[in-house]
């Protein structure tokens, strides 16, 4: 036996010091391998729409409803199933309504508790008793375990379980027990959650979504370009900070920054009020929702223009500092003819629809004024010292990455940058060319440096600039366009100037050989794997489909964001994968939580089967299963070492 292997076995023997302990663990792991694979839930492009996100999370994209149908079939009317599903989604709110309406509340409690116990038994059946026990709510752990566990030694099982439920009702704990069971069902119906990018921007509640994710039992995140922008802002990147504030201002979501993250925007507001007091801000309209207070409209438009000009200046400085980013075409402030009111973009001259720039010096257009520099400094301090933002971003780094390979699926937000012929584009990152998986890896590495480094400020600055590049660079995998036409959108009337050309990847989505080359690049078997992709809304109204290349590629951004729904015709796709197969769920627009509780309205509208497995998938077929198999091999070597006398049992 090699010395290194012996050393590893000695370490393992500390955890399993006897033949009995090692044998028990082998039996335990082997039993787990033979359980059905848990349900995976894929969501992407949430864009701050926290109410819809929370609803989809609570109903598991229809998984709860399916379990109710499986358990009760035709023994319950559809109205009763609907009511039971709503109770599981929103137990506290639904209980309050029931208490006010139900004449015989104790009888309703009895029936409901029995039904919830039945559903809990069904959703817990694919897990080990140990895993279920860990998920049990503390206050009702013993009671629920008794209710969902078959007890062979009890003669009259019905009487036994009825007495437990009767006691719960008699002592006034039925509402709390119903709530505990409902939350447990939500917890068990989905084993793992994948967020394939873009939690932030547009909608009002990304901070609420992040709080929810941080408390979720099992989750990973593939960074989207909007997430990266916030991560860059948290690192102290001033270009990213300006962009984050511009988006929040544009969509009327400054409360997210001020109340959600405690970021003081008074310096910007004061500056905008003074400097842009009599300035034309008509091009800087606010896309506000019904909760927006219109009394702030005039100030917000001034702030919107002020931060946009600051952003263009900061981005110009960064582009000139990093010529290797090859983004000189985005330097447009110096292309303005202030006398004629035109701007030269590429080889074409455009008329500017706004020339009111009180802080732009035509001779030095990218220099911040003294007042702007002071505002930027104070905003940077606010972002870097926002405790909640820093906590959320650390979570994104801990649970997230540029991509993920998981259970024969490749997850990423945008695209693999490609040439028109389907070959991987080579991208210069600080003097060295990268492509394919290596490009993702180097960008991921620099992103972490930009946030975490403390002792090498030169490398940290490179990382911060890379975070900005990932947000909107022409060869960024999570952006996937030739440019972000921010300048054109505000200042050019001609829509031709605003066109953002997608990477060739998007025209090659139906090319099987191209998709196979991507899967091989990331170490996956092209015959049994899928690419799961977000970022670009699926325009169902135009006949677009989320299923590409016969199901090899799945695009699951259908438009969670309200800003996209008129374009897509739906309110988002989510993906479900369990031991039987994979299917996409298209969602209707979500009205409100109150409507969901009062009217018992759900938002699942249609399911599209992607793949039905020829045989049921078990834990043994998953990545975790492979890890467990390796552990079993190691434990069997440990058993041999004990039996052959190479190692001595520590306890007998």
pLDDT tens-digit series, residues 313-342: 999 999 999 999 999 999 999 999 999 999
Q: Looking at the structure, do residues 7 and 63 belong to the same domain, yes or no? A: no
* pLDDT band per the 50, 70, 90 thresholds, residue 148: confident
**What's the pLDDT score for residue 158?**
79
Considering the domain boundaries, does residue 648 fall inside one?
no
119 and 238 in a common domain: no
Q: CA separation (Å) from 518 to 42, 514, 534?
A: 20, 6, 16
Q: Report the C-alpha gap between 467 and 474 in whole angstroms.
A: 13
Q: What is the pTM of this model?
A: 0.92
Q: Check whether residue 175 and residue 218 sit in a common domain.
A: no
> Where is the domain boundary, 427, 457, 490?
490
Same domain for 315 and 383? Answer: yes
What residues have CB less than 8 Å from 205, skipping those under 6 apart?
A: 48, 49, 50, 51, 256, 260
Q: What is the pLDDT of residue 565?
A: 56
Quick: pLDDT tens for 482-499.
999 999 999 999 999 999
Do 238 and 179 have their domain in common?
A: no
Are 74 and 101 within one domain? Answer: yes
Indicate whether 23 belongs to any domain. yes
Q: Residue 639 and residue 629: Cα distance in Å, rounded?
A: 15
The answer to the question of residue 340 being in a domain is yes
What does the alpha-carbon distance between residue 179 and residue 91 come to, in Å, rounded to a whole number?
5
Asked if 368 and 310 touch (Cβ cutoff 8 Å), the reply is yes
Each residue of 547-597: pLDDT tens digit?
899 999 999 875 676 665 555 555 678 899 999 999 888 877 776 777 778
* Confidence grade of residue 464 (pLDDT, cut at 50, 70, 90): very high
Q: In the predicted model, is pLDDT for residue 154 greater than 90? A: no
Residue 198 belongs to a domain: no
**Number of structural domains found in the chain:** 3
R_g of the chain computed on alpha carbons: 28
Mean pLDDT value across residues 275-285: 95
The mean-pLDDT minimum among 29-38, 189-198, 381-390, 597-606 falls in: 597-606
Looking at the domain assignment, is residue 512 inside a domain?
no
Q: Does residue 130 surpass a pLDDT of 90?
A: no
| In-domain check, residue 562 | no
Average pLDDT taken over every residue of the chain:
92
Q: Report in angstroms the alpha-carbon separations of 507 from 503, 514, 595.
A: 8, 11, 40
Please say whether the beta carbons of 247 and 201 come within 8 A: yes
**Which of the listed residues 131, 163, 190 is the one where a domain comes to its end?**
190
Is 638 contained in some domain? Answer: yes
For residue 422, pLDDT beyond 90: yes
pLDDT at 275: 97
Do 185 and 210 fall within a single domain?
A: no
CA end-to-end span of the chain: 24
Angstrom CA distances, 367 to 4, 330, 465, 567, stand at 60, 16, 18, 38
- Determine what percent of the chain is predicted with pLDDT higher than 90: 79
Cβ atoms of residues 452 and 236 within 8 Å: no
Please tell me whether residues 374 and 250 are part of one structural domain.
yes
For residue 339, what pLDDT is reported?
95
Asked if residue 125 and residue 259 are part of one domain, the reply reads no
Q: Is the pLDDT of residue 149 over 90?
A: no
Give me 621's structure tokens: 């077929």
The total number of residues shown for the chain amounts to: 652
**Is the confidence at residue 652, as pLDDT, over 60?**
no
Q: From 447, 448, 453, select the one nearest 470 (Cα to Cα).
A: 447
Kindly indicate the confidence band of residue 268, based on its pLDDT and cuts at 50, 70 and 90.
very high
The phi, psi pair for 574, rounded to 5°, reads: -130, 165
Q: How confident is the model at residue 151 (pLDDT cuts 50, 70, 90)?
A: low
Domain range for residue 9?
3-31+621-643
Residue 84 has pLDDT above 70, yes or no: yes
Q: What is the pLDDT of residue 596?
A: 74
Q: Are residues 480 and 628 in the same domain?
A: no
Q: Which residue has the higher pLDDT, 424 or 142?
A: 424
Specify whether 334 is located in the same domain as 383.
Answer: yes
User: Would residue 243 count as lying in a domain?
Assistant: yes
The pLDDT of residue 419: 97
pLDDT at site 197: 92
The verdict on 114 and 238 lying in the same domain is: no
Confidence of residue 126 (pLDDT cuts 50, 70, 90): confident
The three-point CA angle 622-414-481 to 5° equals 165
**Residue 58 CB neighbour total at 10 angstroms:** 21
User: Which of 144, 160, 190 is the endpoint of a domain?
Assistant: 190
pLDDT at 414 over 80: yes
Q: Which of 359, 356, 363 is nearest to 341 (CA)?
A: 356
Q: Inform me whether the pLDDT recorded for 153 exceeds 70.
A: no
Q: Give the model's pLDDT for residue 559.
A: 65
pLDDT grade for 156, boundaries at 50, 70 and 90? low
- Is the per-residue pLDDT at 64 higher than 60? yes
């Amino acid at each position: 036996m090699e010395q290194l292997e012996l050393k590893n076995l000695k370490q393992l023997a500390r955890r399993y010091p006897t033949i009995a302990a090692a044998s028990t663990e082998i039996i335990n792991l082997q039993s787990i391998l033979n359980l059905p694979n848990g349900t995976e839930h894929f969501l992407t492009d949430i864009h701050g729409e926290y109410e819809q996100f929370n609803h989809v999370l609570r109903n598991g994209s229809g998984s709860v409803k399916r379990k109710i149908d499986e358990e009760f079939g035709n023994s319950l009317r559809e109205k009763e199933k609907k009511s039971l599903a709503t109770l599981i989604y929103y137990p506290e709110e639904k209980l309050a309504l029931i208490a006010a309406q139900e004449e015989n509340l104790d009888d309703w409690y009895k029936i409901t508790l029995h039904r919830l116990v039945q559903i809990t038994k069904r959703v817990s059946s694919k897990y080990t008793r140990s895993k279920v026990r860990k998920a049990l709510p503390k206050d009702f752990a013993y009671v629920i375990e008794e209710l969902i566990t078959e007890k062979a030694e009890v003669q009259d099982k019905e009487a036994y379980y009825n007495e437990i439920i009767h006691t719960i009702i008699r002592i006034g704990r039925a509402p709390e027990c119903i709530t505990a069971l409902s939350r447990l069902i939500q917890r068990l119906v989905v084993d793992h959650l994948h967020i394939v990018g873009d939690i932030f921007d547009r909608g009002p509640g990304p901070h609420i979504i992040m709080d929810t994710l941080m408390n979720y039992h099992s989750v990973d995140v593939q960074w989207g370009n909007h997430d990266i922008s916030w991560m860059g802002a948290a690192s102290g990147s001033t270009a990213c900070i300006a962009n984050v504030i511009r988006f929040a201002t544009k969509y009327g979501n400054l409360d997210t920054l001020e109340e959600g993250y405690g970021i003081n925007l008074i310096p910007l507001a004061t500056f905008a009020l003074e400097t842009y007091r009599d300035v034309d801000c008509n091009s800087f309209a606010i896309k506000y929702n019904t909760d927006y207070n219109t009394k702030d409209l005039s100030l917000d438009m001034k702030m919107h223009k002020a931060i946009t000009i600051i952003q263009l200046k900061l981005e110009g400085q960064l582009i000139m500092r990093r010529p290797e980013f090859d983004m000189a075409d985005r330097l447009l402030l110096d292309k303005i003819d202030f006398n004629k009111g035109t701007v030269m973009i590429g080889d074409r001259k455009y008329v500017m629809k706004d020339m009111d720039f009180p802080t732009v010096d035509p001779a030095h257009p990218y220099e911040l004024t003294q007042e702007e520099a002071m505002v930027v400094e104070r905003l940077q301090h606010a972002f870097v010292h926002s405790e909640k933002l820093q906590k959320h971003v650390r979570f994104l780094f801990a649970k997230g990455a540029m991509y993920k390979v998981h259970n024969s699926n490749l997850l990423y937000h945008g695209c693999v940058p490609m040439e028109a012929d389907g070959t991987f584009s080579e991208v210069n990152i600080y003097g060295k060319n990268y492509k394919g998986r290596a490009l993702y890896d180097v960008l991921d590495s620099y992103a972490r440096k930009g946030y975490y480094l403390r002792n090498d400020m030169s490398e940290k600055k490179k990382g911060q600039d890379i975070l900005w590049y990932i947000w909107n660079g022409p060869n960024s995998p999570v952006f996937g366009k030739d440019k972000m036409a921010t300048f054109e959108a505000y200042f050019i009337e001609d829509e031709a100037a605003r066109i953002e050309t997608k990477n060739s990847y998007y025209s090659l989505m139906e090319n099987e050989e191209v998709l196979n080359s991507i899967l091989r690049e990331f170490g996956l078997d092209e015959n049994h794997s899928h690419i799961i992709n977000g970022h670009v809304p699926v325009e169902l109204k135009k006949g677009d489909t989320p299923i590409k290349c016969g199901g090899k590629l799945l695009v699951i951004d259908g438009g969670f964001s309200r800003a996209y729904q008129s374009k897509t015709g739906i309110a988002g796709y989510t993906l479900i994968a369990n031991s039987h197969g994979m299917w996409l769920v298209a969602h209707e627009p979500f009205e409100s939580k109150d409507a969901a509780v009062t009217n018992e309205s759900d938002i699942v509208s249609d399911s599209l089967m992607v793949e039905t497995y020829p045989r049921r998938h078990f834990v043994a077929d998953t990545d975790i299963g492979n890890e467990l198999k390796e552990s079993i091999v190691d434990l069997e070597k440990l058993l041999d070492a004990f039996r052959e006398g190479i190692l001595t049992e520590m306890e007998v």
